[in-house]
Structure 1
Amino acid sequence: MKNNDVRDAAARGLQDLVAWAVRQELTDIPVDVRQQTVLVIADDLAAMLSAEDEPQVIAAHQKMLVHSPAGSASLFRRERGQLPPLQAAMGNALSASWNELDEGYRKAVCHAGLYTLPVLLAIAESENFSTSDVIRASTLSYEVTARFARAWPFKTLLIHPHALFNVVGVTAAIGFLRRLPAQCMLDALSNASTLGVVGPYSQAVRGALIRNAWAAAGISNGFQAIEWAEAGITGLAETPHDVYHEALGSEAKPSELTFELGVDWAVSSGYHKMNACCHYAHSAIEAMAELLAKNPHLQGGADVVKIEIQTHRLGLTLNNFNPVTTLGAKFSLPHALAASLVYGHGGAQAFGNESLNHGQVARLRQQVEMRLVDEELPWPQDRPAFLKVTDSQGHHYHANCMSARGGSDRPFSDAELWAKIEDLSHASAPGLVHAMQTLHTHCVDHPDSHDLAQPWRNLVDQFFNPKQAS
């Protein structure tokens, strides 16, 4: 198609997407999709809580609590400070991004839950929205955000998606929760596409901690995108195409805005993480785990002299051999391989401060050789890892992982996910798992049922005080 034709198709697609989305009620969303939304919410809440003791997170939260007025939205940490929705959402978005344990989207480079949930949950708690409102708005805002990422993908990662698509997610979340009409939603989303920040992807690989703040940084602009739209200050239906394709050089796939709409729900194509690092390294960590299961004497890495990894294009971007921050470690494939060999897993310990200066990990990082796979494979095997480890006697050990667990092709069981969520949340929010599991079960109910009609705030109370559960 010619450029003008593509632009027109993108504008029509966005109009059709928004018109469809605002018509959807909770009863239009299949039960299994609602349940997956509840799992995503629980997973991202646990990710927030997992970072509450990180020194930089503590410092940022303390500044918010000291300098912000009191409010009625929870800052998710054991003390459960109460802040206005904007400040609470920013604090929770910072936490959710920190440990790389939040859920992500598998069909495009995007963390739709991270961009939508902090602000959505803060407003829902503060403005007394129902739990059914939360599930509906979460599902729809996830859908729209993910389809933006699918419609305008980038061949090379120059701008990090947390910086580029976060305002879109925030705007969608607020708009669907408050049930803005279609034209206002369209105007607000067009505004939002122009209000992202230029956060270079390289900052994550190089360990610049500002990357962890990009999801939070977009929240204020999301509020403004809506307020300006309501005042008649708007972009155009084709504005997102002009931003992402014309200005920033993305591909243009406007059909992705509406392809199988209402059939292929985006939230069902998300992935969950057990490894506390960038998803691009997960297949390599799984290959290492398989290799160690067959050769347990290699764990610790004392006898290993070389680690060779053949992996996908995105995995090769994780090329920092000497990370100096925990974020740098999480975006370093050499560190992921060395640490998972030494510690025997890819959990938080393998990417914590101790791991950065661990002598054996530091040595093994320098023994890693990375190269591209011979042939790129289609989804879901588009992020494979082919691993070869050599010991000091010249023995070679091999293991492969074609697709890391956690996505729709190789999902974790609900039991595994609830166990992860419990592990991350129980110390600070001891009632979170029980409350969210109960909600997960009651997703089959009508929106007017007691459990779905109750205010979201009641559920949050139960997270921190299980005795309040009815």
Structure 2
Amino acid sequence: MSGEREAVARAARQLTDWAACCKLADIPAEVLARAATVLTDDLAAMIGARDEPEVARFHAQVIHRARHHEATVLRGGAARVAKIDAAVANAVAANWLELDEGYRRTPCHAGLYVLPALLATAETDDAPTDALLRALVLAYEVVTRIARGWKQRALNMQSHGRYAAIGAATATALLRRLDRETLFAAMSAAATLVNPSPRTHLVAGALVRNVWPAQGAWSGMMAVEWADLGIGGSTDALYDVYSDVLGGTAQPERLTEGLGQSWALLDGYTKLYACCQHLHATVEALLDLRPALIAAGPVEAIDSVEVATHALARPLMNVRPDTTLGAKFSLPHAVAAALVLGSGGAEAFAFDTLARPEIDALRQRVTVRPYETKLPPPNDRPARAEIRLRDGRVLSAECLSARGGADRPLPPSTVDDKLAQLAVPAYPAIAEVLAPIRALEPTALQRGWRQTVDAFAA
């Protein structure tokens, strides 16, 4: 076991040393372009949650008590607060709608863990936008490699608690160009600041889950501050946490294989549907099937819906969610809303859908069973839906891999549409301001991020 511990320590050090030394010029243009897309996509999701009642109340409190004016609470307007408060406020909003991007090779929302702290720090320091993108690329690489570096003993923790602090700490240290010893000290300290993040809270709809990334943003930023003063984690921190405490099986080679040749950002996905990604194949299959259903008769004619799907989706069976989060992690609700409303967007999981009689009635008629064959990635999250009508007719559809991942990429217009729907009402100029960044135009990349925020928030 000591040999495995040492292998993890060596690999972790190699990973952070590589990130500290990697230059902007070492990152391929397609990876930087994907980083700009993730930045835009997550900004849309973040800003789009501004009118959710709990988010709006929290933002109001943060703005009211502001004594420092360093970084913007991204909800429309230009209210600046202390950078750590801005990171926390924006992190609460960023995953509220479940429309932030994600990483496909293992459960991990790396952009969510990296961006709130990174944006607040970059705005405070007016760091060049290309420096922000570099930090995003490299921190995304570090946190996803750590997420893949352990085979979990059980699926009892959500990734937000496992990795958010690491993402925030790594991004902040990289943006500030701290030396590799300080970067490692911050990352290793952040690894010890995980929270339990029980997955049962997702199905139950406990809204504290939506603040786990915010807790990680705070912890990660503080880990950098502490590391800069000589307070860091141990060489064995990753092994101590993910092997000894959480009981995972270490796979240290995953921390370093292909560094600089393979890029995790290219394995991310863009979300069309405002629910857990484990349900996306189910939603997509049903939306494809809905025209045939409507042609066959009204939704009230449905006798039952059976979904054959993968192991990550099958436990999500809350038939009476009482919060929007519960709805987003409810397979029965996702099924019923898709069929009744013809949508998998934010409106399908809004609070007013929870008590709609026709959605509630249909949720009760949804059952789930295992998908017969275990398929390799990217088809490892499939769904087959079978609708039985009261007159005996059967309609069925299948989706092996939902759109949005590297195997079925969405056009750039998808992110344009999300930005227009979610962010432009709050910031009318944001699409125009971000467009040259997404095109990697040199002038836009050299402009300070604070100036960029001023340009769309003025």
TM-score over 0.5 (shorter chain) = yes
The alpha-carbon distance between structure 1 residues 299 and 172, as it changes in their structure 2 partners (threshold 3 A), is farther
Query: What residue in structure 1 maps to residue 126 of structure 2?
Result: 128
Matched, 1:114 2:112: yes
CA distance in 2, matches of 1:329, 1:377: 27
CA distance in 1, matches of 2:106, 2:328: 20
Letter in 2 for 1:464: A
Matched, 1:271 2:264: no
Is 2:86–2:120's contact at 8 Å kept on the other side of the alignment?
A: yes
Q: Give 1:402 deviation, angstroms.
A: 0.2
Query: What residue in structure 1 maps to residue 312 of structure 2?
Result: 314
Gaps of 5+ in 2: none
Q: What is the aligned counterpart of 2:445 among 428, 452, 455?
A: 452
CA distance in 2, matches of 1:33, 1:425: 24
Q: Deviations over 1:53-77 (max 9, x none)?
A: 0110111011111122131201001
CA distance in 2, matches of 1:442, 1:248: 41
Is 2:40–2:415's contact at 8 Å kept on the other side of the alignment?
A: no
Q: Give 1:275 deviation, angstroms.
A: 0.5
CA distance in 1, matches of 2:153, 2:395: 33
CA distance in 2, matches of 1:298, 1:84: 57
Q: Deviations over 1:242-283 (max 9, x none)?
A: 101111112321111112111211111111111010000000
Q: Give 1:30 deviation, angstroms.
A: 0.4
CA distance in 1, matches of 2:326, 2:169: 30
Is 1:168–1:193's contact at 8 Å kept on the other side of the alignment?
A: yes
Letter in 2 for 1:217: Q
CA distance in 2, matches of 1:205, 1:287: 22
CA distance in 2, matches of 1:464, 1:235: 38
Query: What residue in structure 1 maps to residue 457 of structure 2?
Result: 464
CA distance in 1, matches of 2:391, 2:292: 18
CA distance in 1, matches of 2:227, 2:124: 23
The alpha-carbon distance between structure 1 residues 70 and 224, as it changes in their structure 2 partners (threshold 3 A), is closer
Is 2:117–2:221's contact at 8 Å kept on the other side of the alignment?
A: no
CA distance in 1, matches of 2:72, 2:335: 37
Q: Deviations over 1:157-177 (max 9, x none)?
A: 211111121100110111100
Letter in 2 for 1:248: L
Partner-residue secondary structure (3-state), 2:452:
helix
Is 1:206–1:320's contact at 8 Å kept on the other side of the alignment?
A: yes
Q: Give 1:229 deviation, angstroms.
A: 2.2
Query: What residue in structure 2 maps to residue 237 of structure 1?
Result: 235
Is 2:334–2:344's contact at 8 Å kept on the other side of the alignment?
A: yes
CA distance in 1, matches of 2:326, 2:97: 11
TM-score where L is the length of structure 2:
0.97
Query: What residue in structure 1 maps to residue 87 of structure 2?
Result: 89
After the TM superposition, which of the residue ranges 56-65 and 242-251 deviates more from structure 2? 242-251
Is 1:319–1:333's contact at 8 Å kept on the other side of the alignment?
A: yes
Is 2:285–2:398's contact at 8 Å kept on the other side of the alignment?
A: yes
Is 2:77–2:427's contact at 8 Å kept on the other side of the alignment?
A: no
RMSD value over aligned CA atoms?
Answer: 1.3
TM-score where L is the length of structure 1:
0.95
Query: What residue in structure 2 maps to residue 331 of structure 1?
Result: 329
Is 1:299–1:341's contact at 8 Å kept on the other side of the alignment?
A: no
Query: What residue in structure 2 maps to residue 164 of structure 1?
Result: 162
Letter in 2 for 1:241: Y
Is 1:311–1:371's contact at 8 Å kept on the other side of the alignment?
A: yes
Partner-residue secondary structure (3-state), 1:398:
strand
CA distance in 2, matches of 1:399, 1:242: 45
Alignment of 1:161-200 (within 5 A): 161-200=159-198
Q: What is the aligned counterpart of 2:32 among 31, 34, 38?
A: 34
Partner-residue secondary structure (3-state), 2:436:
helix
Letter in 2 for 1:221: S
Query: What residue in structure 1 maps to residue 253 of structure 2?
Result: 255
Q: Give 1:222 deviation, angstroms.
A: 1.3
Query: What residue in structure 1 maps to residue 213 of structure 2?
Result: 215
CA distance in 2, matches of 1:80, 1:189: 31
Letter in 1 for 2:280: H
Query: What residue in structure 1 maps to residue 290 of structure 2?
Result: 292
CA distance in 1, matches of 2:380, 2:173: 34
After the TM superposition, which of the residue ranges 225-234 and 326-335 deviates more from structure 2? 225-234
Alignment of 1:429-448 (within 5 A): 429-442=427-440
CA distance in 2, matches of 1:323, 1:366: 12
Count of residue pairs the alignment pairs up: 458
Q: Give 1:146 deviation, angstroms.
A: 0.8
CA distance in 2, matches of 1:80, 1:329: 32
CA distance in 2, matches of 1:74, 1:133: 19
Q: What is the aligned counterpart of 1:50 among 45, 48, 51?
A: 48
Q: Give 1:102 deviation, angstroms.
A: 0.5
Q: Deviations over 1:96-151 (max 9, x none)?
A: 01000101111111111001101101111111111111111111111111111110
Q: Give 1:299 deviation, angstroms.
A: 7.8
Is 1:167–1:222's contact at 8 Å kept on the other side of the alignment?
A: yes
CA distance in 2, matches of 1:251, 1:421: 40
Q: Give 1:295 deviation, angstroms.
A: 3.6
Letter in 1 for 2:193: L
CA distance in 1, matches of 2:392, 2:108: 41
Is 2:286–2:338's contact at 8 Å kept on the other side of the alignment?
A: yes
